Structure 1
Amino acid sequence: MSAVDTSARTTPTPATAPSTGTARATRRRLAARARLAYVRGRLHVLGVVAPRRAGAEAFTLWCTLPGGTGRRKDFRPHAGEVVELAAPRGGRVVAESWGSGPVVYLVHGWGGWRGQLGAFVAPLVDAGYRVVAFDAPGHGDSDPSVLGPRRGTLVEVMEALEVVGAHFGDSAAVVAHSMGTTAASKVLSAGPLRTERLVLIAPNHDFAEILADFDRMLRLSPRVQGLLRGALEDFVGHALSDFDLAPLGADGQLPQTLVVHDRRDKETPFAVGHRVAESWPTATLVATDGLGHQRILRDEATIDLIVRDIAARPSALRPSS
């Protein structure tokens, strides 16, 4: 998980008469290539003369949130009721709710925010649920991460969900996207929050795979790779493999789960969602085609499928008539 722009590795296609937008995009790609080259060069030199400093800088890059406006899009139908809750490591976690009835939590991914999943709000409220979404530290309207502005960590996403869960209570469902799928699954497997239904949209890679991609992108030396991995495991207090999704639900202890993944997802391959669904005895896989990693969050047919799946299971949390 890094904010280093991997688009730098894509060579722009020349055009005889580029439009203003094309020229601007080309300049951005060239600037991204220059930034990546600088970072690689700096880490290479530090890896030779000051490897621990190189490891520390790689850790900071890993925890830096991605830029771009795509993850900041807002699909909420209207403002809900906002509460501010205390994060365990300091600062505020902002949560927002709509409607009444059994709770459904919406959990954003890496660099995202609660508005990204806003297209789920109205359909779930219409189906009789109270929808609760929140911003993890460093994301959206919540206070910065313990690591500072523009930073974030998986454990803080988990802690935010625990804090929000303690405030609003157990849920009929949790709908999570991308890295939020790991955060939600870890919290549910640990037990501080219970839910009757889990929906994983575009679940993320195993962290060994993400780390290997990060190491290759920055061309880190084996020594710096080891220092980075050690710093990450020291921070979270666990081996990185403890956060791999497929083993988390392999014992059948997690709730009934719907895995929704697009076959043309460029951020997390469809094979990842397929692997999770194959590994979890409680999981069912639904494939979409052509929605990618972000558009899937606002596709009406996909949202309708997910809402109907949640509503098809009568909630023990719903008062009997």
Structure 2
Amino acid sequence: MHKLFHTLSIQFSGFITKLISIILKVGAFITPTLSKRLVWHLFSTPFKGPVRKNILREKLFSQAKVLDLSFGSSFVRTYSWSCKGKSCKGKILLVHGWGAYALSMACLINPLRELGYDVISFDQPAHGKSPGRQTDLPKMVDSLDIVITQLGAFNAAISHSFGGIVITNWISKNINRGQFNTIKKLVLISAPKDMMATIKQFSKKLDLTSKHNAHIVERVEAITYQPINDLTITGFLKGRGIMNLLVHDENDTWVPLSDSMQAAERVDNGELFITSKLGHTKLMCSDLVIDKIKIFMSNH
């Protein structure tokens, strides 16, 4: 059965997506318990697609200081790059999204170093070179806590996609840890507005039943010890005094622009920067976005 789960946990596309959807719907009638288990397995399994060769990523990897931090019985792999220049302004943390890895945000690293910051990134549990097949929000937040506690303090953080939920959740849980929670600026790129939005998007891709949705919500609430409606970026950031830049593309087909628009209106000190025709990930390598982030980091 585990092999079946693992086989089905590949990137959703075309025929495979339809096949999984049919299996889940039929299973809901024949073996509801097993069908729910499969849905949760798929929801908590990152999709590790092939990593294309990239000169920038390969060069940065060769330059990085690699350090594995103990995380329970496993470890979290971290990558560090020193600032360029005689004196550094501080540290910036990069937090990648679901199914990605540390160097998926490679385009941002050198511009931040040239701005005078050390840059640290890491592979979240079950991502990149960090071991595991499955993970969830609490585990990702806990791994982030290990990184910040041992490699902080950070002046700012930049996240992509689901990484936005992870970093804002950590901030909300650690507001009173002054020596560690030093983040004053936050950039949220292509971020979902809340955990429910993530579940709905996952459900839409697989055309799940309402019972499957309810099961995912139930499991998320059980492992986070929070109602699903409390797992929101705006709730996590309320009253934190952090400067927030939200970056989103109007043609994002994974997380809609409306998520960042709503979040920007509700968070304290929120600014929204909208791009076009760059989708969910390409905007991280856009000169317009990189320049906007550099200005944001330099101001105030």
Show the counterpart of 1:305.
Answer: 292
Show the counterpart of 1:289.
Answer: 276
Distance 1:71 1:248 in 2: 35
Establish whether residue 262 from structure 1 lines up as the match of residue 260 from structure 2: no
Cα pair 1:97 1:130 within 8 Å, conserved: yes
Show the counterpart of 1:186.
Answer: 169
Establish whether residue 207 from structure 1 lines up as the match of residue 184 from structure 2: no
Aligned partner letter, 1:56:
R
Show the counterpart of 1:85.
Answer: 69
Aligned partner letter, 2:105:
L
Show the counterpart of 1:136.
Answer: 124
What is the percent sequence identity of the aligned residues? 24
Instruction: Flag the 1:133–1:217 CA change in 2: closer, same or farther, 3 A.
Output: closer
Instruction: Flag the 1:241–1:80 CA change in 2: closer, same or farther, 3 A.
Output: same
Distance 2:99 2:108 in 1: 19
Distance 2:26 2:254 in 1: 30
Gaps of 5+ in 2: 1-7
Distance 1:129 1:213 in 2: 35
How far off its partner does 1:109 sit?
A: 0.4
Larger Rg: 1
How far off its partner does 1:217 sit?
A: 4.3
Show the counterpart of 1:318.
Answer: none
- Indicate the SS of the match to 1:184: helix
Distance 1:182 1:74 in 2: 30
Q: Deviations over 1:140-196 (max 9, x none)?
A: 11111xxxx2x3322222112111101112211101111001111111121153301
Instruction: Flag the 1:3–1:126 CA change in 2: closer, same or farther, 3 A.
Output: same
Establish whether residue 152 from structure 1 lines up as the match of residue 135 from structure 2: yes
Q: Deviations over 1:249-283 (max 9, x none)?
A: 2x332411111111111211111111110011211
Show the counterpart of 1:165.
Answer: 148
How far off its partner does 1:73 sit?
A: 6.1
Q: Please, which of 6, 9, 28 is the counterpart of residue 47 of structure 1?
A: 28
How far off its partner does 1:71 sit?
A: 8.9
Distance 1:7 1:97 in 2: 34
Establish whether residue 68 from structure 1 lines up as the match of residue 49 from structure 2: yes
Distance 1:72 1:272 in 2: 32
Cα pair 1:258 1:283 within 8 Å, conserved: yes
Q: Please, which of 96, 111, 117 is the counterpart of residue 108 of structure 1?
A: 96
Show the counterpart of 2:81.
Answer: 98
Cα pair 2:158 2:189 within 8 Å, conserved: yes
Establish whether residue 174 from structure 1 lines up as the match of residue 157 from structure 2: yes
Instruction: Flag the 1:75–1:252 CA change in 2: closer, same or farther, 3 A.
Output: farther
Q: Deviations over 1:47-98 (max 9, x none)?
A: 223322211111001112124347996744522111110124x311011111
How far off its partner does 1:233 sit?
A: 2.1
Cα pair 2:81 2:120 within 8 Å, conserved: yes
Cα pair 1:261 1:270 within 8 Å, conserved: yes
Cα pair 2:193 2:234 within 8 Å, conserved: no
- Indicate the SS of the match to 1:186: helix
Distance 1:306 1:216 in 2: 32
Aligned partner letter, 1:242:
D
Instruction: Flag the 1:3–1:294 CA change in 2: closer, same or farther, 3 A.
Output: farther
Q: How many residues align?
A: 280
Instruction: Flag the 1:71–1:173 CA change in 2: closer, same or farther, 3 A.
Output: farther
Distance 2:208 2:255 in 1: 22
- Indicate the SS of the match to 2:188: strand
Gaps of 5+ in 1: 9-32, 314-321
